[in-house]
A and B are shown apart, each in its own frame.
Chain A
């Protein structure tokens, strides 16, 4: 086996699209389909998951969780648990209240945001099913689990608050009675012309209410934490299955009062997160506090059903959206009013998620007016927070859905409507109505390629034939043209949005005496393949072999600075930081080379890892020879520090704006309501590509996750606030067997805002696919007078729309586009 994948070794789809293995750029490493360095240990079981960590004297923590959505805690009695053999300690929330601080929210989106106290263990009240009430520490996990059953808690039940609109109504029971309201904040934003004046000029106004159902992030590896104390020194090593070791370190120090310099955080191998591990969790704080009290190492690992209650949830918004346009399809204005379910408390960036989305509703379109407002609402449910895309998938869904509805209202081809409104490639850089500067893009090229791969004409013909003959299997075609803001983020922009930290990323290059290279990155992977991609960037820049580069991440001792991994930022910010650090290495090495080659610095050229003197090709030194010479330090320029090591902290000047066109064809069995994806084509423009195989993996995974929201996943709470989809029996996650073949393609419009020309790909598939699928479902159902469906578009939901009151709805045979009207149309089944 060679280290590089070739077409024959890749999945068929890549072989069928040879451009997936495009020729390498520049120094030869960028753009190569390198086999991932990470995989050998992953597939041979030699990974170091947090739960694999065992230490001498390790104790196990278990958390007793509230079975009720909302209740006053009358009493917690841990005495019977303490009497059980093997139980070392047991604490109620009150027992730890003086030490465990409060969990942080780093994003106070408005000055008057209601920010309730969030204790790691509830003291007076529980506010969602799964809220921690007590902990047990025992010699083994089994004893700890048994001991939970011996704790007796008396609850005085309070009313659950489940529905957001009811929560805001006068007289609603309160989640936090001391706050006097269930409203967390209202965040308004407006840009361009006055919306009402713009709307008055419109020929057509279309409104819809879309629901972003709550979803449960389900990473392959559950959450877990191990805390190893050195009691005498009050020092702690925290191993956590986290995306954010650096942020976690700061936050644990702030929460517990332990000095930041006394806490080392290690994210060992981390098996996925999708945003759910971008947080500071109660169990991390509790394990630290208890390890400090007992002076013993503590481990906690969630069970899957525990995680479904106690790990953050995603999405959960009600979106009221209105678009106004002229009769020939020119967008005039867009109005969005969101209700965003915070859940019971604010986790790290809970209120910021819908605010990130605010900037993405206008998407790739030009318009005169945009008005937005979001109200965050407390409910007695698990807190929400960032989930793959974080605000941007929700926004993309709403705009792409309503563009299809506007097209139907106008009787216009939905692609044509998009064409008339999108930013043309010659108009870049373009300032969006929200004030973002889209640096580059070519929507025409991506769409043209997608249409060609999809064979739109043939599918539209088949659709017409099926409609004509009233075939029980109806075909629907869905479109999603999207952009996203990635590469979070320019620090000053985050500051202007009241976020509590910056958006830079740190890198360090260390040249070892033997010519090997160590790369330290603050971007901490949880499955993305950073170690491979970073090695390619460094090998390309320095001209050293890929195999000679080692990447160090995820430990605040060995990679002390970082802002971690989320928001498709690692490559665009962290990768660029590495690229810039290599530049510093090269410039210093050039000075040493000039000195050793006795040439003027300006005459020394660097190419392919070798410094040579202009005009005397025999005078040359490799960068690895320079590294050894620097280590020896026998003959360096006067006064030069004897090291080539270089640091770079990169703060991006702008976001990046990946875009693409996704096309989906579904077959709907009108007898059962079952939706099958017949064809899925995506053309993503993510700028320059470092490793096409990693890109392919990110796209496939993202598509699966976005399709899952469209068709399968939904966290359901009953009226009492119980999570009824609490296990994977009831919470449906599709597997490869349920997903179609993905036809992936790319166009390449490099980002101009960073020297690598990269844009990020971690979230693209998730953001684009959900509306593509639902647009396809609605397109199939439109002849039946149906113009919206809630997600997930389950078979029963489709069937009920087709059989209102049990009676089968008849299709008109042709699409009943409404034609041009001045009336306001609203969603739902007509």
Chain B
């Protein structure tokens, strides 16, 4: 398909990007890796007046440490996230989930921040950010602010970002200690969206689970935290039976969609099965 006409700017700094967005008003769109936006434009599902392309804003790329936080620049490509040694050390769940995004071509163009700002509940990274209590840092005309992942994902394809804000970076608390992680994605073809995905991180001490984070992909109009599962896991012994019992709570509080990829009751069933598998894998059981 052929997109409708739009203006295009490619600023080299966040400040210039914010200025461009402020000037353009509500019909502007930020172009990151373009792996979701370009198809939307080609299908004429969106008619932005101007695209603000962040590809030349070098300050938005890269991964660094900041005290006990890991900071991933919003324009860091999935392929770079997957191979980054700091990510692998402190946020292996992010690397694992990013490795399941679409296909190699998409992973070399798509960006970590772009995927989160697009806020597709079927995207793999939002559930991970939610499970890991990420802070998403946005810059607008009034300066920077930090938004908790729990507040960031507002609804289907909607975030707490205002139209003149740019997502700058994502801050993740370093997972240190006896954490095990796993992302369990269920889809029909390798490059398809998740029908359901489960991001799990568990910390064990002396054979017991002392902390657990579980995020669900595509179980609602936003990514969902499986809080009941986390509560049931905390303090239980890390064995198959306990994990299976905890995983039975996986669909609680969700609002799974029914679509061509699966009806909601099937998704609820998958959430329970996949949560059991994700937590078991994370716990090494």
Residues on A lying within 8 angstroms of B by beta carbon are 141-142, 144-146, 149, 303-306, 671-672, 674, 712, 716, 724-725, 727, 729-730, 732-735, 737-738, 794-796, 799-800, 803, 806
245-285 of chain B: CB within 8 A of chain A: 260-263, 265-266, 269-270, 273-274
**Is B186 within 8 A of A145, CB to CB?**
no
- When A732-B188, A735-B190, A738-B189 are in contact, do A672 and B270 touch as well, CB less than 8 Å? yes
Chain B residues in 8 Å Cβ range of A803: 269
**Is B4 within 8 A of A146, CB to CB?**
yes
Q: What 7 pairs across the A-B complex have the smallest Cβ distances?
A: A737-B190, A145-B2, A303-B1, A671-B273, A738-B189, A796-B266, A730-B260
State in angstroms the CA–CA spacing of A727 and B4 once bound together.
19
In the complex, whether B193 has a CB less than 8 A from a CB of chain A is yes
Chain A residues in 8 Å Cβ range of B231: none
**Is A716 within 8 A of B186, CB to CB?**
no
B102 nearest CB across to chain A (Å): 11
Q: Which of A144, A735, A738, A796 has the most CB of B within 10 A?
A: A796
**Is A725 within 8 A of B269, CB to CB?**
no
- When A725-B260, A735-B103 are in contact, do A306 and B186 touch as well, CB less than 8 Å? no
Chain A residues in 8 Å Cβ range of B190: 735, 737-738
In the complex, whether B191 has a CB less than 8 A from a CB of chain A is yes
In the complex, whether B43 has a CB less than 8 A from a CB of chain A is yes
B174 nearest CB across to chain A (Å): 32
Residues on B lying within 8 angstroms of A by beta carbon are 1-5, 42-44, 103, 186, 188-193, 195, 260-263, 265-266, 269-270, 273-274
Chain B residues in 8 Å Cβ range of A305: 1, 43
Chain A residues in 8 Å Cβ range of B186: 672, 674, 795
State in angstroms the CA–CA spacing of A799 and B4 once bound together.
43
Chain A residues in 8 Å Cβ range of B263: 796
A391 nearest CB across to chain B (Å): 27
State in angstroms the CA–CA spacing of A795 and B189 once bound together.
11
In this complex, what residue of B is CB-closest to A304? B1
Chain A residues in 8 Å Cβ range of B195: 795
A388 nearest CB across to chain B (Å): 19
**Is B189 within 8 A of A799, CB to CB?**
no
**Is A737 within 8 A of B2, CB to CB?**
no
Chain B residues in 8 Å Cβ range of A144: 2
State in angstroms the CA–CA spacing of A546 and B275 once bound together.
60
* Interchain CB contact (< 8 A) of A142 among B2, B43, B262, B273: B2
Chain B residues in 8 Å Cβ range of A727: 43
8 intermolecular pairs with C-beta atoms under 8 Å apart: A146-B5, A306-B1, A724-B260, A727-B43, A735-B191, A737-B103, A794-B188, A796-B266
State in angstroms the CA–CA spacing of A729 and B189 once bound together.
11
**Is A712 within 8 A of B2, CB to CB?**
no
* Interchain CB contact (< 8 A) of A737 among B44, B191, B262: B191
State in angstroms the CA–CA spacing of A716 and B260 once bound together.
9
A523 nearest CB across to chain B (Å): 34
Chain B residues in 8 Å Cβ range of A303: 1-2, 42
In this complex, what residue of A is CB-closest to B4? A146
Chain A residues in 8 Å Cβ range of B5: 142, 146
State in angstroms the CA–CA spacing of A672 and B266 once bound together.
9
B248 nearest CB across to chain A (Å): 13
**Is B189 within 8 A of A733, CB to CB?**
yes
* Interchain CB contact (< 8 A) of A806 among B103, B189, B262, B265: B265
Q: Supply 7 further A-B pairs (C-beta < 8 A) apart from A141-B2, A735-B189.
A: A142-B5, A145-B2, A303-B2, A735-B190, A737-B103, A795-B188, A796-B263
State in angstroms the CA–CA spacing of A756 and B140 once bound together.
74
**Is B269 within 8 A of A712, CB to CB?**
no
**Is A799 within 8 A of B43, CB to CB?**
no
B282 nearest CB across to chain A (Å): 18
**Is B191 within 8 A of A799, CB to CB?**
no
State in angstroms the CA–CA spacing of A738 and B265 once bound together.
26
Chain A residues in 8 Å Cβ range of B270: 672
**Is B189 within 8 A of A796, CB to CB?**
no
* Interchain CB contact (< 8 A) of A712 among B42, B188, B260, B266: B188
State in angstroms the CA–CA spacing of A674 and B261 once bound together.
13
Chain B residues in 8 Å Cβ range of A794: 188
State in angstroms the CA–CA spacing of A70 and B273 once bound together.
43
State in angstroms the CA–CA spacing of A304 and B103 once bound together.
19
In this complex, what residue of B is CB-closest to A302? B1
In this complex, what residue of B is CB-closest to A714? B260
State in angstroms the CA–CA spacing of A674 and B2 once bound together.
37
State in angstroms the CA–CA spacing of A724 and B44 once bound together.
17
State in angstroms the CA–CA spacing of A716 and B273 once bound together.
28
State in angstroms the CA–CA spacing of A748 and B273 once bound together.
48
In this complex, what residue of A is CB-closest to B191? A735
A7 nearest CB across to chain B (Å): 29
State in angstroms the CA–CA spacing of A737 and B190 once bound together.
6
In this complex, what residue of B is CB-closest to A736? B190
In this complex, what residue of A is CB-closest to B190? A737
Chain A residues in 8 Å Cβ range of B260: 716, 724-725, 730
Chain B residues in 8 Å Cβ range of A674: 186
A586 nearest CB across to chain B (Å): 51
Chain A residues in 8 Å Cβ range of B103: 735, 737
Chain B residues in 8 Å Cβ range of A732: 188-189, 192
State in angstroms the CA–CA spacing of A732 and B43 once bound together.
18
Chain A residues in 8 Å Cβ range of B261: 730
State in angstroms the CA–CA spacing of A142 and B103 once bound together.
29
State in angstroms the CA–CA spacing of A799 and B186 once bound together.
14
State in angstroms the CA–CA spacing of A304 and B1 once bound together.
7
A735 nearest CB across to chain B (Å): 6
State in angstroms the CA–CA spacing of A672 and B261 once bound together.
13
State in angstroms the CA–CA spacing of A145 and B195 once bound together.
34
Chain B residues in 8 Å Cβ range of A672: 186, 270, 273-274
In this complex, what residue of B is CB-closest to A797? B266
B187 nearest CB across to chain A (Å): 9
State in angstroms the CA–CA spacing of A803 and B191 once bound together.
27
State in angstroms the CA–CA spacing of A732 and B273 once bound together.
23
State in angstroms the CA–CA spacing of A794 and B262 once bound together.
10
Chain A residues in 8 Å Cβ range of B189: 712, 732-735, 737-738
State in angstroms the CA–CA spacing of A634 and B110 once bound together.
70
In this complex, what residue of A is CB-closest to B276? A671
In this complex, what residue of A is CB-closest to B186? A672
Q: Which of A141, A303, A716 has the most CB of B within 10 A?
A: A303
Q: Which of B42, B260, B269 has the most CB of A within 10 A?
A: B260
A473 nearest CB across to chain B (Å): 13
State in angstroms the CA–CA spacing of A226 and B195 once bound together.
41
State in angstroms the CA–CA spacing of A727 and B36 once bound together.
14
State in angstroms the CA–CA spacing of A421 and B3 once bound together.
59
In this complex, what residue of A is CB-closest to B267? A796
Chain A residues in 8 Å Cβ range of B1: 145, 303-306
B219 nearest CB across to chain A (Å): 15
A546 nearest CB across to chain B (Å): 36
Chain A residues in 8 Å Cβ range of B265: 806
In this complex, what residue of B is CB-closest to A799? B266
State in angstroms the CA–CA spacing of A537 and B241 once bound together.
66
State in angstroms the CA–CA spacing of A742 and B260 once bound together.
30
Chain A residues in 8 Å Cβ range of B3: 142
In this complex, what residue of B is CB-closest to A60? B2
A618 nearest CB across to chain B (Å): 63
In this complex, what residue of B is CB-closest to A794? B188
**Is B269 within 8 A of A799, CB to CB?**
yes
B4 nearest CB across to chain A (Å): 6
In this complex, what residue of B is CB-closest to A146? B4
Chain A residues in 8 Å Cβ range of B44: 145, 149
State in angstroms the CA–CA spacing of A636 and B186 once bound together.
75
Chain B residues in 8 Å Cβ range of A149: 44
Chain A residues in 8 Å Cβ range of B273: 671-672
B21 nearest CB across to chain A (Å): 25
A770 nearest CB across to chain B (Å): 17
State in angstroms the CA–CA spacing of A625 and B224 once bound together.
80
A325 nearest CB across to chain B (Å): 37
State in angstroms the CA–CA spacing of A546 and B236 once bound together.
73
State in angstroms the CA–CA spacing of A799 and B260 once bound together.
15
In this complex, what residue of A is CB-closest to B262? A796
In this complex, what residue of A is CB-closest to B266? A796
